[in-house]
Amino acid sequence: MYAHVRAPCIYQTGASLLEVLIAMLVMSYGITGIALLMAATLQHSKTSVYQLVALQTATELAESMRANTEGFMADAYGKTDTYSSTRAAVTVPNCAVPTRCNSSEIANIDKAYFSNSLRLSLPGGDFQVLRNGSRADIWIMWMEPASPASMRWGTSQCRASAISADGEQPRCLYMRAAL
């Protein structure tokens, strides 16, 4: 009888170099996507913190105006200057009689306090107040950190007169308060 000799197996049992390269390419796309998602998440969380600070400040400003209704009705809280992200800190004024401030002096102290507070808590932070009868229109403005164009929110809530001629386009939060 003939002995039947088997030929050695020529099938490959490992992964080829091409398969490994393709797997690495797919993995790199996945890791890049995860990194971009994490960056977007951080940017959106920072934006939401800025919005929260702006909302709290607008609420505090409205409460200050409610506490000083006389100053509000005399338009002492009015602030409609053009926005500038590089504006210097405001000196907090003193009262003419230290133990007794009038409503206008209280309003000026409040405006200086909120202006300085926004400068410290928001990048390029500032505000505007426009009296409309017994209502206050309040805009809190700040500059968003640099972000991709797809993540920019625009200036839809900003007053047209608030945006400077040099092209600074701040983010704005608008609030109307009834006094």
Q: What residue spans define the domains of the chain?
A: 17-178
Confidence at 7, pLDDT banded by 50, 70, 90: low
Q: State pLDDT tens for residues 62-120.
A: 999 999 999 999 999 999 888 888 888 889 899 888 788 999 999 999 999 999 999 99
Average pLDDT, the chain: 85
% of the chain with per-residue pLDDT over 90: 52
pTM for the whole structure: 0.74
Token representation of residue 143: 């500059």
| Cβ contact 83:141 at 8 Å | yes
Q: State pLDDT tens for residues 50-65.
A: 999 999 999 999 999 9
Question: Helix 103-121 and helix 17-67: axis angle, to 10°?
Answer: 170
